[in-house]
Amino acid sequence: MDDFHKITIEKTKKGLKIKNPTHYELIGKGVQGAVFRLSEDRCIKMYAKERHCLRESEALNAGQDSSIVPKVFEVGANYIVMEYIKGQPLKDYLGSLRSIPEPIAKQLVFIFKEMKRIGFTRIDAAIRHFIVTDDGEIKVVDHVNSLKTQNAWPFKFFGALAKLKLLDTFLYQLKEMDPELYWEWKKLMNKSKD
């Protein structure tokens, strides 16, 4: 399984340049790195820059006692071997629904509060980073900026819910489940419009 070291990731002006001479399947890529599936329960994220690997490993380490982030098995200079989350992006899960199921809404509220408890300063995770597992549990992936960026409310997430026409539903659910958090975010939302 150590042949993943043959994979190289380079950041160019056009995006990531990936060389993968292995049999590991590319399952995702972003701005800082690419993710390959190693086995049934493990994947590896390879980074173009060591500093991005370090930042994400620090964030994942901070959240290892939480159920919302993937478990980490190994960290190298430019890679992290972690739990493979089998499921679908939350956006796809919600795409055909007219409302957010209550168990999902409760998990989302828990996740945002848990991010704060862990010490993440970026509560603004993109909806594509929320994965709904086959068991209906939600995990959040891609934490490169979770301890670096300062965002106290999930404006990108709210923007994605608005595009799905589910933001009002979620805000109503949030107000019922956690009025204090609802009003905190409502103030931040209004402030950002000024």
Identify whether residues 117 and 178 lie together within a single domain. Answer: yes
Instruction: Select from 35, 68, 83 the last residue of a domain.
Output: 83
Domain boundary (55, 83, 111) is at: 83
Same domain, 64 and 139: no
State the total domains in the chain. Answer: 2
| 112-132 pLDDT per residue, tens | 999 999 999 888 888 999 999
Answer yes or no: do 138 and 178 share one domain. yes
Radius of gyration of the chain (CA): 17
Burial class (CB in 10 A: 0-12, 13-18, 19+), 30: middle
Residue 157 structural domain: 87-193
106 shares its domain with 178: yes
Q: Convert the pLDDT of each residue in 59-98 to its tens digit.
A: 999 999 999 999 999 999 999 999 999 999 999 999 888 8
Q: Identify the pLDDT of residue 107.
A: 96
Q: Are 72 and 134 in the same domain?
A: no
Q: What is the pLDDT of residues 22-55, one digit of tens each?
A: 999 999 998 889 999 999 999 999 999 999 999 9
Tell me the C-alpha distance between 145 and 58, whole Å: 10
pTM of the model: 0.89
Residues 53 and 92 in one domain: no
Same domain, 171 and 150: yes
Q: Are residues 137 and 113 in the same domain?
A: yes
Distance CA 140, CA 127 (A): 9
